[in-house]
């Protein structure tokens, strides 16, 4: 699982700075930076705060951070389509 990549992707799709997201999630900017670089494994409660600050369901953030072997039973075409739809919803601001 690459949660840092997912957090960064969702944040940039929402056009938020690290500072803005950190403030909205109630965490420090330095901690968010560590999370985005996969230097820390956050508890689910922190991931939930970040997802809520991004106004997206936590499941979308987890899906976008999943690695190929974690999605093994899902056909590649379905994975790609789901990822595209999720990113489109995030960009549009309608994910939650």
CATH of the domain at 45: 1.10.260.40
- What stretch of H or E contains 20? helix 18-25
Q: Would you place residue 20 in the very low, low, confident or very high pLDDT band (cuts 50, 70, 90)?
A: very high
Contact indicator for 65, 54 with CB cutoff of 8 Å? no
Per the structure, the complete domain to which residue 41 belongs is given by: 3-92
Distance between CA 4 and CA 10 in Å, rounded?
10
| Total Cβ atoms within 10 A of residue 84 | 10
User: How many distinct structural domains can be found in the chain?
Assistant: 1
* 19 contact partners, CB below 8 Å, separation of at least 6: 29
**How sure is the predictor about 43, in pLDDT bands with cuts at 50, 70 and 90?**
very high
Model confidence at 52, in pLDDT bands (50, 70, 90)? very high
Residue 93 confidence (pLDDT) above 80: no
pLDDT confidence bin for 95, thresholds 50/70/90: low
The pLDDT tens digits of the residues spanning 55-69 come to 988 988 888 887 877
């Amino acid at each position: 699982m690459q949660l840092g990549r997912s957090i960064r992707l969702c944040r940039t799709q929402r056009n938020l700075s690290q500072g803005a997201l950190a403030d909205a999630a109630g965490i420090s900017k330095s901690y968010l930076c560590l999370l985005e670089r996969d230097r820390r494994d956050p508890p689910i409660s922190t991931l939930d705060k970040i997802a809520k600050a991004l106004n997206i369901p936590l499941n979308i953030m987890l899906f976008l951070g999943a690695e190929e072997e974690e999605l093994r039973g899902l056909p590649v075409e379905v994975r790609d389509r789901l990822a595209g739809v999720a990113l489109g919803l995030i960009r549009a601001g309608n994910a939650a």
